[in-house]
Structure 1
Amino acid sequence: MPSIERLLRKCATGGTACRASRHLIMFRNAGIYDRCLQELKKAGIQPAKSVAHHKLIAFHLNTAHMKRFRALLAHPDVHAIERDRTVSAHPGVPAARHVPNSNKRGQRQAAINAACPANAPWDVCQVQAPSLWPITRGSGVRVAILDTGIGPHPDLRVAGGVNTITGGSYRDNNGHGTHIAGTVAGLGTNGQQLGVAPNVSLYAVKVLDSNGTGYISDIVEGIHWCIRHKIKVINMSFGLQANSTILHAAIKLAYRSGIVLVASAGNSGPNNAALDAPARYPETIAVAASTRTYKIASYSSRGSGVDVAAPGTNIRSTWIGGGFKLLSGTSMASPHVTGGAALLRSRFAHLTPAEVASRLKKSARHLVGFSARSQGSGLIQLKRAATVTGTSIVSARARKSRKTSAK
């Protein structure tokens, strides 16, 4: 059998020629990965991307050499080969027409509004985030927004980040990532808008360009950056209809590393065949979009993998240029769950990703008239999620204090 280095060199081309397509190859061990990189370098072929921690090379395949490519596919040193497909942000959808509340729903919303701080939007209050703020606002938890970048914006404080597309600035040149960041971590300074977890350490991981698209390899590199920088919660408001073994492998590694992974379900409505990746992967918390009137939004993708719902319709949040914008979509729902997971991890640092997901699902409010395929366990309720075996977080803290003093 020819060496894997020679096979890869003969299959790869140095650029995006008319008969070239961008592929990913993931190796079984680091030594083979290093040897293949060296072989390509000697041949003067520059990979499109390489991710050492994933033993991954993105290269342009010369489709004139399909016989050699098939031999590469079958090589025992190869873990996976696939197209380096483009992934797209789940875009905002047009603002929904306001539907009046029924009396019962109107009373419920009035109660929420009465308990809502003046600069907290309705959606943040509907998921009960302000109920946890006397205890925690997310301090000590690193949250990464894998998206188009963040800001700058006066209502956001970005602790750091990375651009895996060009290696340049992680500043947002689209707006999608900034909108999501505001729902997670709006500071509320000078009377501006509060997010679900205002005190988290916010990181911008720019994996999508100004058009809201990026390659699988850009996202895989971003996930590995998060693992290395000890991120605790990741938001992913983007999707891919095709399956990706390599993206799933990165998701699995992040999950095993203790990261809570939150993903928007998609905006394909009730007739979609399946949830987008990565929301369909069991390691993620897949989020559907609900409305102010406690319904599942018509655009929200349905599927057996939906875990929970969160407000996604007519969500006002931060936007590039220092302003605010009203958007709808599962992209807007997902950051409520990301912020909620951060509050739980701030209060209960020992929680695993599975335990965070379990709390969010067990405490969710079922939305009447919608199936589990639409809403999963229901609308997240963070006050209820922060209870421990039916005991409030305040009494849990007191019990922990008594236990410590008794030692």
Structure 2
Amino acid sequence: MTASTVAGTGIGTVSGADDDCHRYVVGAAPNASTRSISSDAKTVHRTLEFGSIGTATVCSCTDDVAKRYAARSDVRYVERDHVRRAIETVSAASERTATQVEPDPSEEQVVPWGIERLGVESLPDKTDSSRQASIAVLDTGIDPEHESLEVDDGISFVDCSEDGCDSDWEDDGLHGTHIAGTAAAVDNDVGVVGVTPNAELCAVKVLDGDGSGHDSEIAAAIEWCADEGIDVLTLSLGGPEPGPILEDAMEYAYENGVLVFAAAGNAGPDEGTVDYPAAYDSCIAVGATDSRDNVADFSARGDGIELVAPGVDIVSTTPGDDYEVMDGTSMAVPHVAGLAARLIGSGIAHADDTNDADDPGGVRGILRETAEDLGADEMEQGYGLVDAASAAEEIGTVATDAATKVRATTATLTGTLRSLEDADAADVFFHWRPAESDEWTETDPESVPEDEAFSAELTDLEPETAYEFRAAVDSPDANEIGETATFETGLDSLVVETGDASAIDHESVQCVGTLEGMGDADAVEVAFQWRDADDSSWTDADGEEREEIGEFDDELSGLDYETEYEVRAVATAGDETATGDAVSVETDPEPGLPEIEQFEIDDSSSQNFVGASVQWTVTDQDGDLVEITSELRYADGDEVLHSVTSELEGGEESGTHTLKNTDRLEGAGEEYEIATAVADGEGNVTDVSEQVTLDEKSPSPSIDRFEVTPTDFLGDPSAEVEWAVSDEGGELWELELELCLAGDDEVLDDASTMARGDEKSGSHRLTDGDTDGETEYEVTITVADYFEQVTTETTTITLGE
């Protein structure tokens, strides 16, 4: 394999639009009506929901409509929907100090220098064996078949431009696969190994094969990752313009437990060059260093820089089981993201306080506090070079887990012994005390092997009392104490309380109860009872057995719509039964059908396929949208040529489906039926269809010039033909000239040429090498378009003496 050197992050430009409309992002307050925004737009592409932050509607509209949006009191911002594109190659030759070793599948697996520099290779695996952190690579996609990668999941927010894409999130560039390899290439004795080989890797395609994607597509991907519980995001993309929808999305993700890393940019060494979205507070901006621990000249500078990591001469995976060397802050990002995933996998929160930019704590705080100071200006290095070994020291050898089987006078404490450096086992125990006491009591020690859970049972506790406990380890290899956890004992009698009850929909409610005390019982059955508010008898729901106090819940279904019910919690231990107070709850009104508010079809055919873009907006008054499907078939046929399905949620969604018929030769100019159906959670379906003619064929090509002149070529009579042809639809395909004796079909000489585009001209000589004297000939010109529509013209000419 050969190695090439390229680099990437991104720059932002504004996407253009047809006619007088442009693509805008309208950020609204949480209580604003997105339907009123959608009604004024020509096209609504999607609506994103960021919880308490607000919403963002992505639409195409005129500048005047955008100004009206901006004047509304419930609108936070109105901005163009920028496009982020990968930047050109960065030349970092002057910063290299050694020849990069290129992986060879026939040789042993290579550990890239950046991973060695961070000390990742020598890290003990202190991650919780039951917890694998997830990393989402938001980029051009990932090669799902690469020998060094295992992709656990994938989703695409842009189209894959390659015909051979087996998955819609497949990498049709190479940038995303390279990022994925540095973060999480598996340890399988081939190619390269990543920072965290056991991470769950998710491919999130937000950039097309050319490395470009709208801010709104990237924001939608971030929203999806946050809702799916992804732990770490890498965004090796960016641009100089702010993108408020990206700021919304990253703040939403950060508040929901996601740590986001982005490339600082390759516009250094000038200051003030940190790209967006890296410059936002909710994102960790990563700069690049070389093998001498110098901040790379190209690495962006500014007060937004938080950390730096290796970003010069970085070898990693590229599509097709290949490996390439690349330079850029894009390459630095996965080093830090991979380490963060390892820390999160050990049980450390992404941040302790997402509202404290100076002291966030958690993994973000550890990365800052343990970074190595390179002696560079803070505008260049931020907190410094990521130090994996120092960060790992913050992962305790022993972890305090939860208290289980908590009752009035007993509880079971649990903990986990993580990896040990020089021992296979260690003595572990717990410290515990009443929360108001200053003195700790120790449980009896027990020896357990590394990566094993352990526990201790406490007895003779005081009812209704708060306690603190912490796990501890004592061995020649380690002597550590875990973090302190708390629990509270229950009542010494059987007691249950009814908590909140809320309607889920028109026929079911969610109930919550709390088992406050178990008495002397080892196990208690808890359940709920319900009745119509006008009835006197209770109906029992199925129960569950509990061995400890605490909260429980259940869903009651099969109820009548728009009806008031009473619900109460019940606990049973042997012959004893306790009930909580009854609470009232009313089921929702009978649901309505989902509605298709917008259904517009545009002909999106190209020279490669017959296509239609279906722009849709759907609503559901119950907020229970599930999915929408669009199908393409011939108007007189039943076979579905192509279908696209999108998952939905909430009460309003907008989007675009692109349908294709790849057999353009047969399908152009035909009449099609396009049908769209939307379903809600109750199985209700609303559909709509329309018949349209797609990719209408232009008229047959025209022969604009056809002049034949007698001439002589090396003593043989010849015809010099000058010609010009055109096609209204720009679909010229082939041109052919033939020379025959007048009245005879035998071709004496011919010439042909490819004629592509909308017009073509040229000249050819046709010769009869076997003639005697003056002879009458016919010269025929034939031009065809892509659809095999043919135009022919013939002229007669006399050649020879």
Fold shared, TM-score > 0.5 on shorter chain: yes
Deviation of the 1:234 alpha carbon: 0.4
More displaced 10-residue stretch of structure 1: 72-81 or 207-216? 72-81
- Structure 2 stretches lacking a partner, 5+ long: 1-15, 99-107, 161-166, 353-359, 400-415, 419-426, 431-453, 459-801
1:57 maps to what in 2?
57
Contact 1:143-1:200 within 8 A present in 2 as well: yes
1:364 maps to what in 2?
371
Deviation of the 1:192 alpha carbon: 2.4
Deviation of the 1:143 alpha carbon: 0.8
- Judged with a 3 Å threshold, the aligned counterparts in structure 2 of structure 1 residues 52 and 286 are, in CA distance, closer, same or farther, namely closer
After superposition, give the CA deviation of every residue in 1:75-131 in whole Å (9 maximum; x if it has no partner).
Answer: 123222111011133555235246559xxxxxxxxxxxxxxx963222111111123
Deviation of the 1:62 alpha carbon: 1.8
1:216 maps to what in 2?
215
Output the CA distance in 2 between the equivalents of 1:31 and 1:374.
41
Which AA in structure 1 matches 2:136?
A
Output the CA distance in 1 between the equivalents of 2:66 and 2:143.
43
Which AA in structure 1 matches 2:121?
P
Deviation of the 1:351 alpha carbon: 4.5
Which AA in structure 2 matches 1:330?
T
More displaced 10-residue stretch of structure 1: 167-176 or 355-364? 167-176
Question: Aligned match of 2:389 in 383, 392, 398?
Answer: 383
| 1:127-206 map, 5 Å | 127-136=118-127, 140-152=132-144, 153-166=146-159, 169-206=168-205
Output the CA distance in 1 between the equivalents of 2:257 and 2:177.
25
Output the CA distance in 2 between the equivalents of 1:91 and 1:402.
57
- Judged with a 3 Å threshold, the aligned counterparts in structure 2 of structure 1 residues 29 and 98 are, in CA distance, closer, same or farther, namely closer
Output the CA distance in 2 between the equivalents of 1:157 and 1:71.
48
Find the residue that maps to 1:82 and give its secondary structure. strand
After superposition, give the CA deviation of every residue in 1:355-378 in whole Å (9 maximum; x if it has no partner).
Answer: 21111111111113x211111111
Find the residue that maps to 1:47 and give its secondary structure. strand
Output the CA distance in 1 between the equivalents of 2:109 and 2:81.
46
Contact 1:359-1:386 within 8 A present in 2 as well: no
Find the residue that maps to 1:21 and give its secondary structure. strand
Output the CA distance in 2 between the equivalents of 1:178 and 1:51.
27
| 1:244-393 map, 5 Å | 244-352=243-351, 354=360, 355-368=362-375, 370-388=376-394, 393=396
Output the CA distance in 2 between the equivalents of 1:156 and 1:137.
22
- Judged with a 3 Å threshold, the aligned counterparts in structure 2 of structure 1 residues 301 and 321 are, in CA distance, closer, same or farther, namely same
Find the residue that maps to 2:219 and give its secondary structure. helix
Deviation of the 1:30 alpha carbon: 6.4
TM-score by length of 2: 0.43
Deviation of the 1:346 alpha carbon: 0.6
Find the residue that maps to 2:285 and give its secondary structure. strand
2:74 maps to what in 1?
77
Q: Which has the higher contact order (CA 8 A, sep 6+)?
A: 1
Output the CA distance in 2 between the equivalents of 1:252 and 1:246.
10
- Judged with a 3 Å threshold, the aligned counterparts in structure 2 of structure 1 residues 321 and 398 are, in CA distance, closer, same or farther, namely closer
TM-score by length of 1: 0.83
**Aligned residues between the structures:** 367
Deviation of the 1:282 alpha carbon: 1.2
Deviation of the 1:294 alpha carbon: 1.1
Contact 1:232-1:259 within 8 A present in 2 as well: yes
More displaced 10-residue stretch of structure 1: 264-273 or 305-314? 264-273
1:394 maps to what in 2?
397
- Judged with a 3 Å threshold, the aligned counterparts in structure 2 of structure 1 residues 282 and 240 are, in CA distance, closer, same or farther, namely same
Output the CA distance in 2 between the equivalents of 1:137 and 1:287.
27
Which AA in structure 2 matches 1:127?
L
Output the CA distance in 1 between the equivalents of 2:224 and 2:332.
24
- Judged with a 3 Å threshold, the aligned counterparts in structure 2 of structure 1 residues 97 and 225 are, in CA distance, closer, same or farther, namely same
Runs (4+) of structure 1 exceeding 4 A deviation are 97-101, 395-401, 404-407
- Judged with a 3 Å threshold, the aligned counterparts in structure 2 of structure 1 residues 99 and 350 are, in CA distance, closer, same or farther, namely closer
Contact 1:89-1:147 within 8 A present in 2 as well: no
Find the residue that maps to 2:397 and give its secondary structure. helix
Find the residue that maps to 1:334 and give its secondary structure. helix
1:11 maps to what in 2?
none
Contact 2:151-2:200 within 8 A present in 1 as well: yes
1:25 maps to what in 2?
26
Output the CA distance in 2 between the equivalents of 1:31 and 1:284.
27
Contact 2:96-2:290 within 8 A present in 1 as well: no
Contact 1:90-1:331 within 8 A present in 2 as well: no
Output the CA distance in 2 between the equivalents of 1:178 and 1:211.
14
Contact 1:137-1:343 within 8 A present in 2 as well: no
- Judged with a 3 Å threshold, the aligned counterparts in structure 2 of structure 1 residues 395 and 31 are, in CA distance, closer, same or farther, namely closer
After superposition, give the CA deviation of every residue in 1:264-283 in whole Å (9 maximum; x if it has no partner).
Answer: 11000111433111111111
More helix by share: 1
- Structure 1 stretches lacking a partner, 5+ long: 1-14, 102-116
After superposition, give the CA deviation of every residue in 1:168-204 in whole Å (9 maximum; x if it has no partner).
Answer: 7000111001000000000132432110000100001
1:12 maps to what in 2?
none
2:750 maps to what in 1?
none
Which AA in structure 2 matches 1:50?
T
After superposition, give the CA deviation of every residue in 1:278-332 in whole Å (9 maximum; x if it has no partner).
Answer: 1111111111100111111111001111111100000000001210000000000
Which AA in structure 2 matches 1:374?
E
Contact 1:26-1:80 within 8 A present in 2 as well: yes
Find the residue that maps to 1:268 and give its secondary structure. coil
More displaced 10-residue stretch of structure 1: 333-342 or 246-255? 246-255
Deviation of the 1:136 alpha carbon: 3.6
Output the CA distance in 2 between the equivalents of 1:236 and 1:395.
33
Which AA in structure 1 matches 2:69?
L
Contact 1:308-1:379 within 8 A present in 2 as well: yes
Output the CA distance in 1 between the equivalents of 2:95 and 2:381.
21
Output the CA distance in 2 between the equivalents of 1:206 and 1:312.
22
Output the CA distance in 2 between the equivalents of 1:136 and 1:211.
37
Larger radius of gyration: 2
Contact 1:90-1:239 within 8 A present in 2 as well: no
Output the CA distance in 2 between the equivalents of 1:122 and 1:401.
38
Contact 1:143-1:232 within 8 A present in 2 as well: yes
After superposition, give the CA deviation of every residue in 1:50-93 in whole Å (9 maximum; x if it has no partner).
Answer: 33556322222223xx3x53232111232221110111335552
Deviation of the 1:337 alpha carbon: 0.3
Output the CA distance in 1 between the equivalents of 2:28 and 2:207.
25
Output the CA distance in 1 between the equivalents of 2:61 and 2:428.
61
- Judged with a 3 Å threshold, the aligned counterparts in structure 2 of structure 1 residues 77 and 212 are, in CA distance, closer, same or farther, namely same
Contact 1:262-1:287 within 8 A present in 2 as well: yes
